[in-house]
Amino acid sequence: MDSITYLQAIVIGILQGVTELFPISSLGHSVLLPAWLGGDWSHLVTEYGTKESGQSPYLAFIVALHVATALALLWFYRRDWVDIIGGFFTTLRTRTIQTSTERLAWLIVIATIPVGITGLALEHAFRVLFAKPAAAGAFLTLNGLILLAGEMLRRRADARALAHVGSETPSELLDEEIHHPVYGGPNRKLETLGYGEAAIIGTFQTFALLAGISRSGITMVGGLVRGLDHEDAAKFSFLLATPVIFAAGLLKVPSLLGPAGADIHGQVLVGAIAAGLSAYASVRFLTKYFTTRTLTPFAIYCLVAGIASVIKFA
């Protein structure tokens, strides 16, 4: 059986929409779930790890899911994107960056460049080499460790910042607040990120080409390490993911119009709807969740699921 059933389309669509935004790796789950289910699902894993997108119905299907996920993110942050795009073109006209929104626009541009270049050059090679159930399980385990490390480093940064604040006089604190952005600690805002820091966080995204490493998770960790709180780190991660996911999908849309997508148009539509709706529900949930909570539960899940997958498929 080389095609995709409607049941598979719905299940994988929901899985894509959730795991692309939850910090648990959509690519890893796109490999691991079919491998765990076996039977008629097992050919999906083989296709994902060995074929070009123009030859594989499953890869053509995944392309549609990515586009649907990006559209859901774009709709959720539509007001932000209107301001960001407007701010970007304003800077091109004025050749200056004057507002936090204009700065955010360029932070996103700079952070997108590394993963764009790497994705074009290495996506197929990484997929062929590492999109195997055992490898995906190992990288999912590593993803859990990365999330835990991010939380640990964030707590240490908070402790150092609080100690620093406690050691300063009120006049020193006022002078620091006026003349210096807050780097690190619980008060840092998204717009205070430096362009070099944005490039580093964007570089972190390239590791998400490995099935099992979460794009949203690793960029959130990058933001936390640079002193953002969980809410701003999550927002930057989701904003940063939108053009990357959308562009990756659009570049491979021709595969949907070729032989690989010829017999699955109905499944593509159903799966894309499932992915878009689940992605929208996920981003709504996570933006509220990260106002008060951390990455730790997701880290524990990744460790358990990853180790279990390594044991089963090694």
Specify whether the backbone of 21 is left (phi greater than 0), alpha (psi in -120 to 50) or beta: alpha
Of the candidates 74, 103, 75, 76, which has an alpha carbon nearest to the alpha carbon of residue 87?
103
The answer, yes or no, to whether residue 1 has pLDDT greater than 50, is no
End-to-end CA distance of the chain: 25
* Residue-level pLDDT at 183: 41
Which H or E run contains 1?
none
The answer, yes or no, to whether residue 159 has pLDDT greater than 80, is no
The 10s digit of each residue's pLDDT in 104-150 is: 999 999 999 988 888 766 776 666 666 789 999 999 999 999 999 99
Q: Where does the pLDDT of residue 263 fall: very low under 50, low under 70, confident under 90, or very high at 90 and above?
A: confident
Contact 106, 91 (CB under 8 A): yes
Classify each residue of 145-168 as buried b or exposed e, where b means 16 or more C-beta atoms within 10 Å of its C-beta. ebbbebbeebeebbeebeeeeeee
Amino acid at 243: P
Q: Where does the pLDDT of residue 20 fall: very low under 50, low under 70, confident under 90, or very high at 90 and above?
A: very high
The 10s digit of each residue's pLDDT in 23-68 is: 999 989 988 999 999 888 887 777 665 555 556 778 778 888 989 9
Q: Where does the pLDDT of residue 218 fall: very low under 50, low under 70, confident under 90, or very high at 90 and above?
A: very high
